Structure formats: structure tokens, C-alpha cells
Structure 1
Amino acid sequence: MTGMSDTNETHVYKLLTGADWKAASANGVTSAAIDETDGYVHLSTRSQVAETAKLHFAGAEGVRLLRFAVADLPPLTWEASRGGQMFPHLYAPLEVSLADAVWQLLPGPDGALRFPEVY
């Protein structure tokens, strides 16, 4: 585990299925099944989020990409995950209102989710 001072990331990202987005919009906080199971909120850096989408959200309906400024969130815990990469995890509720941008990701011709040019 490393602290926030060990990374220069200014933003982290959360992907939600359409159903999880609807629930988060109603409840004010995200509640994805994997987060409930693991006991923390899974987040990704900009360089990690496209792979996360490919691995875990392919074929999902209404996927939303939420961007959060690290400075606006409770302290993140950086832990080794996929391939030993350090991923940001949040051991607190993730409030949707803290997102500074939200996009709906639509599949491209190849079926992969298309990200906005700037995110």
C-alpha cells in the first residue's frame, strides 16, 4: 500500500453499468456488486480505465464513466491489482455529486466501449 503522496494522479475514474448508474443517481453513492463484495470502491487511473472497461464492462448497457478529482475525495489507498499495477481504492462511500464529469460510453463498431477524446 502506498499513500496519495506516492502518485501524481489528479483524477480517478469509476465505471458504472446503466443499472448501477440509476441506483447511484437515486442513492447519491455508488453501489456496484464488486465493491460490495470486496469492501471498497474500485477506481482506475486514466491509463487503466480503458482496460477496466474492456475486461469488466464489455456488452454492458448504459455504461457511465465518472471522473473524480483526487483532491475532492477522501484519502485513496493504492493497492496492487491486475498485473501488479497500483490501483486506487476508496474505503468510504463514493458520492456521485463529487464527480466533476460524467459520460455515457457507447460501443463502437467493434463492440468495445468508445471513450471521449478528452476525459
Structure 2
Amino acid sequence: MSAVIFHVCPWAAWRAAQAEGVYRGGPLDLKDGFIHFSTPNTLSGTLATYLAGQPGLCLLEVETDTLGDGLVWEESRGGVAFPHLYATLDVAAVRAVHDLPLNAAGVHVLPAHAEQPAPDMDGAV
């Protein structure tokens, strides 16, 4: 069964990926050897923990069934399974890209359908 997962990156990185046809991930992804994704339940925690107050970000929305065998769900903080992509991300697999503006308090504003109550734990990038 397919699910929607999300990846946050700078707009510049997404534009470069569009020109190349694949997204290879950001510095943390390259260091860890996989592209970090968040679920609707962990996205707010990811933003608050790793990207708080950072302008110029976009949210990539992807259906899990488009990612093949490279997508692995692995336990992270709090015992929660997070989606990790052990492959490059074909830009054609991204079903939508959303701007992540900051509100007056410096918190990222998520698209309504991506906003879920976060569990009592930190999210992963």
C-alpha cells in the first residue's frame, strides 16, 4: 500500500536536481548514505529539530510505491520507523513540491494536507 512521505531541501538543491533529473540528497543524506524522509506524523518534528528558522526551503512530496526497493523503513529515535531511500530520487517520482515559508514566529508553514499532530518524540530529517 502506498503512503505519502516528505523530504525537505533548499530550493536551490531542488532546482539543481530538476536540471540533472535526479536528487542525490543534501549534506546529511550524503554523509549517512541515504535520503532522509519524514511521514506526516514526523514532519513537524523534523523541521523543528533540524531546520528551525531556515528560509528558502521546499517540501518534496513522494508516493512510497514510486521508490522501489531502495526505500527502507528503519527505526530511529523513539522507536519510530522512518523512510530512508538508499538510492537517488528520480525527479519524476516527486508528485508535488511546496514552498515552506516562515510565519512571523519563524516556524515553517506546512501545506494543510501535510500537517499532522506530531507524536511525543523528535522527528528525523
**TM-score after normalising by structure 2:** 0.81
C-alpha separation between the residues in 2 aligned to 1:10 and 1:85? 16
**In the alignment, is the contact (CA less than 8 A) between 1:18 and 1:61 conserved in 2?**
no
Matched, 1:51 2:45: yes
Matched, 1:28 2:41: no
**In the alignment, is the contact (CA less than 8 A) between 2:22 and 2:90 conserved in 1?**
yes
C-alpha separation between the residues in 1 aligned to 2:95 and 2:30? 24
Number of residue pairs matched by the alignment? 112
Amino acid at match of 1:100: R
Q: Taking CA–CA contacts closer than 8 Å with sequence separation of 6 or more, which of the two structures ends up with the larger relative contact order?
A: 2
Gaps of 5+ in 1: 1-7
**TM-score after normalising by structure 1:** 0.84
Q: Give the percent of matched residue pairs that are identical in Structure 1 and Structure 2.
A: 36
Gaps of 5+ in 2: 115-125
SS at match of 2:16: helix
C-alpha separation between the residues in 2 aligned to 1:82 and 1:26? 34
Check 1:83–1:32 CA distance in 2 against 1; reply closer, same or farther (3 A cut). same
Once structures 1 and 2 are overlaid, which stretch shifts more, 37-46 or 75-84?
75-84
1:83 offset after TM fit, Å? 2.1
- Which residue in 1 is equivalent to 2:97? 102
**In the alignment, is the contact (CA less than 8 A) between 1:62 and 1:105 conserved in 2?**
yes
1:9 offset after TM fit, Å? 5.8
C-alpha separation between the residues in 2 aligned to 1:28 and 1:56? 26
Q: What root-mean-square deviation, in Å, do the aligned CA atoms of Structure 1 and Structure 2 show?
A: 1.6
Q: Which structure 2 residues correspond to residues 4-83 of structure 1 after superposition, within 5 A? A: 10-30=3-23, 31-75=25-69, 76-83=71-78
Moved over 6 A (4+): none
Once structures 1 and 2 are overlaid, which stretch shifts more, 107-116 or 18-27?
18-27
